[in-house]
Amino acid sequence: SPSPPSSPSLPPSLSPPGCGELVWLGEPESHRKADSISGKYGVWMQDPEPVPLYGPEMTWRLDAVGSAVRQLFGYEDLKQLSRGFPSKVLLLPESVESTGAVVYRGSLYYQRRKSRTLLRYDLRTESVAARRELPHAGFHGQYPYSWGGYTDIDLAVDETGLWAIYSTSKAKGAIVLSRLDPDSLEVLHSWETSVRKQSVANAFVICGTLYTVASYTMPNTTVNYSYSTESGHGRALSIPFLNRYRYNSMIDYNPARRQLFSWDNYHMVTYDVRLGTV
């Protein structure tokens, strides 16, 4: 099949050679502030490998406060997001749990409320294209990040594909990182880390390496741990990370833009990322 269009930075096929370890994060840039209590925390993203119908600038947003989160807002670009004018509003067939959703290759991937079921919602057909339980995953408050929010299952995208960050009773609350098949949601491979999920504020994946953030409220916190799926080893880090608005409920990496997308106390913010070789 033809390769999907990409953002101007690097086509997906070329980005892994430019991969490296995270060495620096820029200051947060706010693009929009949510205007009601339902937007205190949420998730927003662009598709790093878009497929026709929606281009690389299309920006998606879910306000995650509430018991029946089903509205997905689409904006043509960051400027339209900042002005607050969605060009698309989709009503998802089943409610979303928390802030772990991602958009990848034309689908929204999310966890169904109060379950360990993952859904792939095709944005073109506006229908569920796949569903699968994430085996043994804790859900609805068993192994959330330190801020709570039922963040037991956090989906992530990097240069190499789709991931789930979660824990199980067998792992005793330590973060498990699983690579998922983006079509079927099947687990392809899993790694168990030594860091407890509830001891960190959030996590994201860059170039096959998991990174965790120490605090969601401290203005000056750090990216404090990394786990390489290539080597199977974890190590302590201390890369400065700024929670400017002091309540960070979502952090995800966008490999096409080489940025982190984050939701910090009503604010949708991005951080520039610098990768280096160690």
- For 157-216, write each residue's pLDDT tens digit: 999 999 999 999 999 999 999 999 999 999 999 999 999 999 999 999 999 999 999 999
Q: Look at residues 105, 236, 247, 77 and name the one whose alpha carbon lies nearest to residue 181.
A: 105
Residue 1: what pLDDT?
52
**Is residue 210 within 8 Å of residue 22, measured between CB atoms?**
no
CATH of the domain at 108: 2.40.128.630
Q: How many CA atoms lie within 13 A of 123 on its CB side?
A: 26
Q: Is residue 3 part of a domain?
A: no
pLDDT tens track of the chain, all 278 residues? 544 444 344 334 344 778 999 999 999 999 999 999 999 999 999 999 999 899 999 999 999 998 899 999 999 999 999 999 999 999 999 999 999 999 999 999 999 999 999 999 999 999 999 999 999 999 999 999 999 999 999 999 999 999 999 999 999 999 999 999 999 999 999 999 999 999 999 999 999 999 999 999 999 999 999 999 999 999 999 999 999 999 999 999 999 999 999 999 999 999 999 999 75
Tokens (6 digits) for 240: 């400065």
Q: Is residue 264 part of a domain?
A: yes
Based on the structure, what is the number of domains in the chain?
Answer: 1
**Is residue 237 within 8 Å of residue 229, measured between CB atoms?**
no
Q: Which domain holds residue 217?
A: 12-276
Q: Is residue 1 part of a domain?
A: no
**Is residue 146 within 8 Å of residue 199, measured between CB atoms?**
yes
Distance CA 22, CA 237 (A): 10
**Phi, psi at residue 37, to the nearest 5°?**
-60, -30
Q: Is residue 47 part of a domain?
A: yes
Helix (H, G, I), strand (E, B) or coil at 115: coil
Q: Is residue 4 part of a domain?
A: no
Residue 278: what pLDDT?
55
Segment 227-239, tens digit of pLDDT: 999 999 999 999 9
Q: Which stretches within 2-104 are classed as H helix? A: 78-83
Q: Which stretches within the chain are classed as H helix? A: 78-83
Residue 50: what pLDDT?
96
Which regions of 69-112 does DSSP assign to beta strands (E)?
71-75, 88-91, 102-104, 107-111
Q: Is residue 6 part of a domain?
A: no
**Phi, psi at residue 199, to the nearest 5°?**
-90, -5
Q: Is residue 251 part of a domain?
A: yes
**Phi, psi at residue 153, to the nearest 5°?**
-120, 120
Residue 2: what pLDDT?
47
Distance CA 209, CA 45 (A): 20
Q: Look at residues 102, 105, 158 and name the one whose alpha carbon lies nearest to residue 275.
A: 158
Q: What does pTM read for this prediction?
A: 0.93
